[in-house]
Amino acid sequence: MHIKEEKEEPFHIVLLDLQEAANKRIHCVQVPFERGHFDLPFIAISYRWGELDEQMFMTGVDYIAHVISFALKDLYKLCKMIMSEPRLKHMKYVWLDAICIDQLDEHRKKTTIYRMTDIYSQANYILAVPDLHYDHIVDDSARSKTSNTLRQHVAYLYYMIKGDLKNMHQFDKEWMDDLGIPQDISFRQGLSSESVEDLNDEIMELDVSGDGVDILATLGHTFEGLKITEKSQSCKLDSRELKFRHLLQQMHLQYKRYRYKKQIDKRWDELELSIDFLLSNIREWTNRTWVINEYHIAKSKGKIMYWFIQFSQDETPLTGLPFFDYDFKEENEPDYPSKKDHYPITVEMFQLGVRFKGDFADELVKRPFLEMILASRAAKPGDRFHAILPLSQYRHVLEHKSTVSSWNITDMASVRQKLLELMTIQDRLNLLYYCSFGMLAPILPSFVTVQGVSTGSGPRPDVVDMLNTTQSKHNFDLDGQHDKASVELDLSQRLPMLRLIPTCFYLHKLRKGDFHYYERWGRTHEMWAKLGLDPDHDPLVEVSLPLILYKPNGVPLKSAYDFTLDLQLVGSLKKNCWVVFRFDRTPNLSGIIFPREKWDPCHLYNDNRGFHVF
């Protein structure tokens, strides 16, 4: 999708010389960039910004770079690893915004932002480095300790993520050899990462009944002295002593297994902690608004390459090995190895690697539009539209490069309000449902102000599924077949107003009097005057507008609303003036959130003016 431009100005791209950076020098070139006609090979780096002390340096072009996103030493390490990567070592340049955009030149910066999609689309490779801001990550002592643990296992983690069973098997063999674990295959097959507590149970089940304790006390203090070496010797022992010699030998064997399994458990915990740490880096990376744009461009190319600074430390054993790839088209389940053919610990580690790749895929692929634009992080609210609208079904609204600027997006409330203008009715209802979970008094406009809800949280996918399923009868016209849209934003009133036209609604029986909310939110609250409500003469009621009228199993909602998906309003029936507020959160183990005795029978809604929500 290309934004219409009245006249496209000549654009020059700045690229970082890869070889120079690998040699710990910064040198950039500036060349003309024309969409679809750019032959200079380069890699576009996708990463998240950190917050480090400012580093200033000459770029070799006409500006000084000011970098706080990552440490230069880590960029140098990355470029050195790129120069040894089999597919990338012939590349000449890299592009990353912290250096290749003059951050102090607002005009040039804005011009480049408009061309970000073109830059990543034109790149020969998109390389994601979720932990390029490594120094910021390890600024916390706990995370620094975890990173140190990870680096002890970096080679094994590499093969685990790659799913390289052959090398994992060899690493596990050498690790068990170094630990002194007997090479007997049956003994090693009996070892896995099962908990030490399970082995304690095995030891406790050994038969030490009768007068075995006395015999144990007379047979010496070491296990090694208990071995029977000659058949004639065994003849001199009575059956009791033979029994308990065998018992002690079994206890000795179990003790050795216990000791080895503790080491296996420790290693498993360290590797699992390392995998989870890498995944946390990935989640922070994928949750950035511009990163979402970047990996969706990579998706159109079919693959994205990724790497970690923590795998690029000095004297790393991974120099010259291929970076990781995620293939967006590959959906086949991996072939799980058998514990009969491999060490159990190898199979379990392989499964941990599969989990990593599954979680990685969830972050990259399975994210609906509303989650991407609302639950992501952005330096400026308007960046959400610049980065994510081009990826969506709403891309057509970006008619010119100045379109988003003209919307005057200043905060998250203005982001949500603009979305209510642009989106389908299904998405509007999903957004409204998400916005209805505030815990505090409403702030106008109440339908876009989410008070007490985490900024990073997003709308619920199950609401989208429910609205899209053919098994549900909807309470709102989703197809726009009537004269007026069932969910419509009206900006022509004295206040921004949302018009809701449901098929029916439920009236809640007030428990604390018709004037309860005036007392609860304050009789002098400025909201009452803005809404034209008089705390002395305008009683308020509570209503529920279900999103659906039938459950997915086809059971209708009759005299009371007994499903969890609804919009709840507080306001005046007489003046048709409402605010969004979720007043009833009563939990119920049966799944019926609103007990029947709290509701009047269902009211059909025949007023085409709709509920006026402010």
Supply the DSSP string of 139-159, one letter for each residue: TSHHHHHHHHHHHHTHHHHHH
Q: What mean pLDDT comes out for the span 492-515?
A: 83
Contacts for 314 with CB less than 8 Å, ≥ 6 apart: 77
DSSP codes, 183-199: --HHHHHT--S--HHHH
For the stretch 366-424, pLDDT in tens is 678 888 888 888 888 998 998 888 888 999 998 887 899 899 999 999 999 999 999 99
What one-character DSSP code corresponds to residue 486? S
pLDDT at 163: 93
CB 450 within 8 A of CB 434: yes
pTM: 0.77
The answer, yes or no, to whether residue 1 has pLDDT greater than 60, is no
What is the three-class DSSP state of 71?
coil
Give the tokens for residue 339: 């514990």
Neighbours of 224 (CB within 10 A): 7
φ/ψ bin of 123: left (φ > 0), alpha (ψ from -120 to 50), beta (otherwise) = beta
Q: Which residue has the tokens 């216990």?
A: 258
Q: What mean pLDDT comes out for the span 84-96?
A: 96
pLDDT at 560: 41
For the stretch 180-232, pLDDT in tens is 888 877 777 777 655 444 545 544 554 555 444 444 444 444 344 444 444 55
The span from the CA of 180 to the CA of 182, in Å, is: 6
The answer, yes or no, to whether residue 610 has pLDDT greater than 80, is yes
Residues present in the chain in total: 614
φ/ψ bin of 13: left (φ > 0), alpha (ψ from -120 to 50), beta (otherwise) = beta
- What average pLDDT does the chain have? 81
Contacts for 369 with CB less than 8 Å, ≥ 6 apart: 388, 391, 392, 393, 394, 427
pLDDT at 462: 56
The answer, yes or no, to whether residue 85 has pLDDT greater than 90, is yes
What is the three-class DSSP state of 583?
coil
pLDDT at 266: 93
Phi, psi (5° rounding) for residue 531?
A: -85, -10
The answer, yes or no, to whether residue 260 has pLDDT greater than 90, is no
The answer, yes or no, to whether residue 106 has pLDDT greater than 70, is yes
The span from the CA of 436 to the CA of 448, in Å, is: 9
What is the three-class DSSP state of 448?
coil
Which of 83-97, 401-415, 438-452, 590-604 is predicted with the least confidence, judged by mean pLDDT? 590-604
Which range among 202-211, 287-296, 453-462 has the greatest average pLDDT? 287-296
Q: What mean pLDDT comes out for the span 28-40?
A: 87
At residue 480 the predicted structure's pLDDT band, cuts being 50, 70 and 90, is: low
What one-character DSSP code corresponds to residue 557? -
CB 343 within 8 A of CB 179: no
φ/ψ bin of 210: left (φ > 0), alpha (ψ from -120 to 50), beta (otherwise) = left
Phi, psi (5° rounding) for residue 476?
A: -125, 145
**543 vs 156: which has the higher pLDDT:** 156
- Return the CA Rg of the chain: 33
pLDDT at 329: 80
pLDDT at 483: 61
Give the tokens for residue 393: 């079904």
Among the listed residues 131, 70, 82, 124, the one whose alpha carbon sits nearest the alpha carbon of residue 286: 131
Which of 99-113, 220-234, 488-502 is predicted with the least confidence, judged by mean pLDDT? 220-234
What one-character DSSP code corresponds to residue 41? -
Q: What mean pLDDT comes out for the span 554-583?
A: 74
Q: Which residue type, as a one-letter code, is found at position 384?
A: R
What is the three-class DSSP state of 287?
coil
Which of 128-137, 262-271, 338-347 is predicted with the least confidence, judged by mean pLDDT? 338-347
**376 vs 312: which has the higher pLDDT:** 312
Phi, psi (5° rounding) for residue 155?
A: -65, -45
Q: How large a percentage of the chain has pLDDT more than 70?
A: 77
The span from the CA of 169 to the CA of 341, in Å, is: 10
Which range among 283-297, 462-476, 558-572 has the greatest average pLDDT? 283-297
For the stretch 513-559, pLDDT in tens is 578 889 889 999 999 999 999 999 999 998 888 887 765 555 555 54
Q: What mean pLDDT comes out for the span 226-254?
A: 58
pLDDT at 561: 41
Give the tokens for residue 103: 């951050």
Which of 167-176, 261-270, 561-570 is predicted with the least confidence, judged by mean pLDDT? 561-570
Alpha helices in 452-497 (DSSP H): 461-468
CB 538 within 8 A of CB 455: no
Among the listed residues 533, 375, 565, 575, the one whose alpha carbon sits nearest the alpha carbon of residue 442: 533
The span from the CA of 531 to the CA of 572, in Å, is: 10
**376 vs 334: which has the higher pLDDT:** 376
**192 vs 341: which has the higher pLDDT:** 341
Give the tokens for residue 596: 């029947």
The answer, yes or no, to whether residue 166 has pLDDT greater than 70, is yes
Domain ranges of the chain: 12-138+287-334+359-364, 410-613
Beta strands in 437-534 (DSSP E): 487-490, 497-500, 504-508
Cα separations (Å) of 481 from 393, 548, 610?
A: 21, 17, 16
pLDDT at 187: 78
Among the listed residues 31, 21, 25, 28, the one whose alpha carbon sits nearest the alpha carbon of residue 77: 21
